[in-house]
Structure 1
Amino acid sequence: MEMMKAMNKSNEHVLAGGACFNEKADSYLVYVQNDDRNDQTQAISIHNQPRKVTGASFFVFSGTLKSSSGYLAKSSIMEDGVMVQITAENMDSLKQALREMKDFSITCGKADAEDPQEHIHIQWVDDDKNVSKGVVSPIDGKSMETITHVKIFHGSECKANGKVIRWTEVFFLENDDQHNCLSDPADHSRLTEHVTKAFCLALCPHLKLLKENGMTKLGLHVTLDSDQVGYQAGRNGQHLPSQYMNDLDSALVPVIHGGACQLSEGSVVMELILKHLFLFIYLF
């Protein structure tokens, strides 16, 4: 679904996206400034181990390569990512393969070369069940492994007195009826965004106290169905203290009941994780 969104938002000549952390990589591309204040790309790797798999932070496919260039395709490192230049025809074929969820290969190098320089393979793989390995609910301490979830890279956040609370993950708990509950998949995104925004704003005045009490990872469990509408908020396997609940009730109850009105049938049960109360230091 995220790949479809990226293609729908991109123009006809460029397809770009961010990359998730790859646990199988033994090195990663980084873009740094050296002692001479010149920017350059480096690969950081595990000490005393050969580099076999190098990770990158983003990818760009550019369909601007001219057929007259003499190249089938070109690949290059750009800052801490990878850019692949292909022909417009190849770009059309790539996007069609992605829409059909089919693998796709690109051959790089000069068209008249006997041995092409490299091959680029775009492959569809099974869901990685290890991405939530070791994750437990901040509310009740139960394991969140194998539960369908989404990492949030640009989600709601709130800053106050040099500290920030940020939404990082949403888990959709097992529910047979969940696929019927909202008429549009985008409604899930809007609902979770509205809920987390209200949650962050409600706790914003309390960030300093939360930090001092070690509450740096918070959970919000939301239930919406015909029989029950409500939420639970917690940390370290316990519910949040009552001193925070009045502000949370005022902010969350209207949003949650508004979300319940969007249900066509079935229910939504989800848990959101918000964490890392940072202390920012600004230098002037």
Structure 2
Amino acid sequence: MEVTKDGHYVLHEQPDVQLLQKKFQTIPSASVDFCVSSCLRATVRLVNLQCCIGETVWCFTTSGMRLVGQDEILIVLAKQEDDFLPPRDIFVHLSEIWLHAKQGNVIGNLGHSIIGLGGSDVGFLGNRNNAGFLFIRQSHQCMAKLNLPEAPYLFGVLMTRWEVPWAKLFPLRLMLRLGAEYRYYPCPLVSFRNRKPVFEEVGHTVMNLLCDFRNFQYHLPFVENADCCMEKGVITMRIPRYRYDQIVKVCQTANEHVLPIGLSFSSRVDAHLVCVQNLENGQYETQAINIHDKGRQITGTSFIIFNASLKGTEMDECRTSVVEDGIMIQTSAPGLEQLKAALKSVKNFTFKALSTPAHKNDEGPSSLPEERNAVVIEWTDERKTCNAGVKSPIDGKDMTGIESRRVSLKHSTDFVNGNLSVRCTEVFLDDEKDPATTTREELDLSRLAENLALATCSVLRMHLYDYRDSGITRIGLRVCLGPDIVEYDVGSKGERFLPPVLMEFDDKIMPLLNECARLWGNRPRLEMELLFRVFPH
């Protein structure tokens, strides 16, 4: 595909291969657009990442995944000597991801995809051990020279078939293990197609007790955005208050003797425990990786297990041990019950280090190295991190922390004008009151969003070609309801539409808002923003 001076795309169905190869002869190369499908485009560029990883790479950047509710994707693949063109297998797999997302199977952070090559003898990217991709968000990694898509986006890191069980059940362990393999914290963004696997047969691991490696029916319970770190003799577990429901669920499903909790990767730590499998004997060992040229001060962990195995101790005493890439907290049965009660009551809790040494008849992993650390479990008022980097098309408002819901194709309607369409793809809801404590029997917000989307699309459809000629592909509609306010805004490219343009929306939108305002009454202010996308039909 080529872009004309007026911003339109010209598709070459049978491009000149030699001419295409010339485009990639210089490094960095020009960006070349490939049409994967009518709604999905992949931009490819050949760049040299000498600044960080020291490799020449193909950078694949998608555009169009958001139409089916999927974050845009980057795949950074190390170039081989016999690569004259970007590998075709990547385009095929991006198409598979798009089709799966269209069916409602969307990939998120630390999600994965599996290659669908069927009976191919060559294998994906020329290696039958390549099985799919682990998808991660960028944290400390360098992104210089990469073509970045619209936020939020995911990086796909190639994984082997031996690593698939970990991608399904404990992806954070796999991500950090890849970081240790390449000494790049926390994980390199570059994929190497012929690398050796970092895990083989699962073997003996503490995760055998918490995950189903045979049928993949259950796994370690996770609490999103909760983290745990070790610093100066203190182990601190931090839980955001907005994850209270997840903590209660973990406490209710745990048995009376063990409380395991899977944690998230935290950007506030500068090092992390890593679980490394010795491929000669299958045993698991503990290592640590840290940010390059920075000493270890705060070390993160991947999970924490509270184990009621101590006897004859005070309720607030504990013994701590490092287990693979996590922490084992041994306490008494009453101490564990007290902890669960504190978690359900949203109260902080502290265990002090056990003052007496371990006894041989103590139950639990006494062979593990004992650490004399106090343990602090605290609730935080941290802001939500969802939709980081997302900006409103109306005025550039930062949408970080505002919950949104992707509109699936089953619940969306395309409004067509010629060979262009418009669709509502996402709804942002900024409510001043906790949704769990708000009764919304009189006003169904889902129905309101649906009616607003239909009304807005009916107006936008008449101007799709004008939007295309102006380079407009994202349009936002923001509505505000409150005791003393009923208003809406429409805009794109960081600018509100002018009043003469808004007059076309008044007849469709204001009757809906006035009726909703009557039902909303004196409840706290509600702000809802709908995102629309213009695309080729």
Q: Which structure has the larger Rg over C-alpha atoms?
A: 2
1:239 aligns with: 496
Secondary structure of the equivalent of 2:451? helix
* Matching of residue 271 in structure 1 with residue 529 in structure 2: yes
Which residue, 388, 401, 415 being the options, matches 1:158?
415
Unpaired segments ≥5 residues, structure 2: 1-102, 121-129, 134-155, 169-209, 225-242, 244-263, 265-383
What are the superposed Cα offsets for residues 73-128 of structure 1, whole Å, 9 maximum, x if unpaired? xxxxxxxxxxxxxxxxxxxxxxxxxxxxxxxx885xxxxxxxx8344326464379
Instruction: Classify 1:209/1:50 alpha carbon distance in 2 versus 1 (closer, same or farther; 3 Å).
Output: same
1:213 aligns with: 470
1:76 aligns with: none
Note the aligned Cα RMSD (angstroms).
3.4
Secondary structure of the equivalent of 1:261? helix
Which residue, 199, 203, 211 being the options, matches 2:456?
199
TM-score normalised by L of structure 2: 0.33
1:133 aligns with: 388
2:428 maps to amino acid:
F
1:28 aligns with: 113
8 Å CA contact 2:394–2:496 kept in 1: the answer is: yes
Deviation at 1:139, TM superposition (A): 1.1
Which residue, 432, 437, 449 being the options, matches 1:175?
432
What are the superposed Cα offsets for residues 191-232 of structure 1, whole Å, 9 maximum, x if unpaired? 111111101111111011111111111111101122111100
Q: Greater relative contact order (Cα 8 A, min sep 6): structure 1 or 2?
A: 1
What are the superposed Cα offsets for residues 131-172 of structure 1, whole Å, 9 maximum, x if unpaired? 412101111112101112222223343111111111111112
Unpaired segments ≥5 residues, structure 1: 1-16, 36-41, 56-104, 108-115
Deviation at 1:259, TM superposition (A): 1.7
Instruction: Classify 1:43/1:162 alpha carbon distance in 2 versus 1 (closer, same or farther; 3 Å).
Output: farther
In structure 2, C-alpha distance between the alignment counterparts of 1:269 and 1:119, rounded to whole Å: 40
1:207 maps to amino acid:
L
In structure 2, C-alpha distance between the alignment counterparts of 1:135 and 1:185, rounded to whole Å: 31
Residue correspondence of structure 1 range 28-107 to structure 2 within 5 A: 28-29=113-114, 43-45=131-133, 49-50=159-160, 52=163
2:465 maps to amino acid:
K
1:120 aligns with: 217
Secondary structure of the equivalent of 1:232? strand
Secondary structure of the equivalent of 2:520? coil
2:84 aligns with: none
2:505 aligns with: 248
2:114 maps to amino acid:
L
Deviation at 1:30, TM superposition (A): 5.4
Instruction: Classify 1:217/1:258 alpha carbon distance in 2 versus 1 (closer, same or farther; 3 Å).
Output: same
In structure 2, C-alpha distance between the alignment counterparts of 1:34 and 1:229, rounded to whole Å: 59
Q: How many residues align?
A: 199
Instruction: Classify 1:211/1:182 alpha carbon distance in 2 versus 1 (closer, same or farther; 3 Å).
Output: farther
1:68 aligns with: none
8 Å CA contact 2:386–2:403 kept in 1: the answer is: no
Secondary structure of the equivalent of 2:463? helix
8 Å CA contact 1:203–1:247 kept in 2: the answer is: no
In structure 1, C-alpha distance between the alignment counterparts of 2:460 and 2:106, rounded to whole Å: 29
Secondary structure of the equivalent of 1:117? coil
8 Å CA contact 1:180–1:264 kept in 2: the answer is: no
1:229 maps to amino acid:
V
Identity of aligned residues (%): 25
In structure 1, C-alpha distance between the alignment counterparts of 2:114 and 2:443, rounded to whole Å: 33
In structure 2, C-alpha distance between the alignment counterparts of 1:48 and 1:187, rounded to whole Å: 43
Deviation at 1:183, TM superposition (A): 2.7
